[in-house]
Amino acid sequence: MTQPFSVPRRLIVAVGGNALDPAEGRGTPEEQKAIAAATARAMLPLLELDNQLVVVHGNGPQVGKLLLANAAAQDRVAPQSLDILVAQTQGALAYILAQAFENALREAGNPRHVVGLVTQVEVDRHDPAFANPTKPVGPFFSEAQAKALAAELGVTVREDSGRGWRYVVPSPKPKHICDVSLVEALMCGRTVVIAGGGGGIPVLRDEAGRRRGVEAVIDKDLTAAVMANVLGIRDMMILTAVPRVAIHFGKPEQLDLARASLSEMKRYLAQGHFPAGSMGPKIEAAIRFLETGGRRVIITSLETAVPALMGETGTHIVHDHEAEGEDEAAADANSRLLRTPAALATA
């Protein structure tokens, strides 16, 4: 068991897009609303806390399906640019989540409000990601299906962590959260704020301060890290498909991590333990968050979010000096956490 800690006054929670549209479903409105309701029930103890809470969600499956629909119907309906598709998923998912969160709160007799914001996020026009698409989005395909779609529709496809083939799109790093003062104003009034959905709508800013959209999908965990640092939030929780981060994932020597220092996670990342497009961006976001003022990152599953917040499960990543003195206990905990491999989630 990791060391428990007091519930933070300010908290940011990043929820993966696959948690709202899992691969085994079709992503119908009924499915998405039912999954959002289940998410709200699991997060209800967090929603009911007397704290300042921001929720950032992914949109990989949803925006990928819109890309597919866009391409398939381009002879009948004018295709939309990727920034507009991100905005569409951001608005739709914020609506679904906000409604589910408020319904769960009302059923519990809690009057707390939830609001979803359309969030633009500035990126660097010279980011090398624009020339190297790596962000997996949309449904999974077989290799033959994916290559046929690539030839037919002109999209880029790539194998995704052994789980199938998907579209990949540019994923520049977030540089600045636009209008973040509005998030803070709502947050300080105890409104639960859903912001930065899908990593935010990617925009460029010119010398006159004018914004324009750019075709990309930003990683939502990196956006959550930047937003948290700007807002002075020192604790970040990243929800994924597994209760703990693992090294040697999927191998007989798999080791789940209960607690790890910043230096350890940087070393594990450099050693290639965390694939790009799945756990890699989450670890990169955790490192960025801690290196720019954050105190603690918890990575766990939706189902174990509340126990993890109390220090009972999850992977807790902290600064090296905070890990000192607990290394022996953490090593003992880690050594006892060899588990059956579970599928990694994407953003």
What residues are annotated to the active site? 17-18, 135, 220, 282
Question: Where is 14: in which H helix or E strand?
Answer: strand 10-15
CB 296 within 8 A of CB 2: no
Nearest to 56 by CA among 174, 140, 214: 174
Residue 175: count other Cβ atoms within 10 Å of its Cβ: 17
Cβ atoms of residues 322 and 294 within 8 Å: no
As given in the structure block, the two tokens for residue 124 are 């660097």
Token pair of 155 as six digits: 């999209």
For residue 169, give the 3-state DSSP assignment. Answer: strand
Which amino acid is located at 227 in the chain?
Answer: M
3-state SS class at 272 = coil
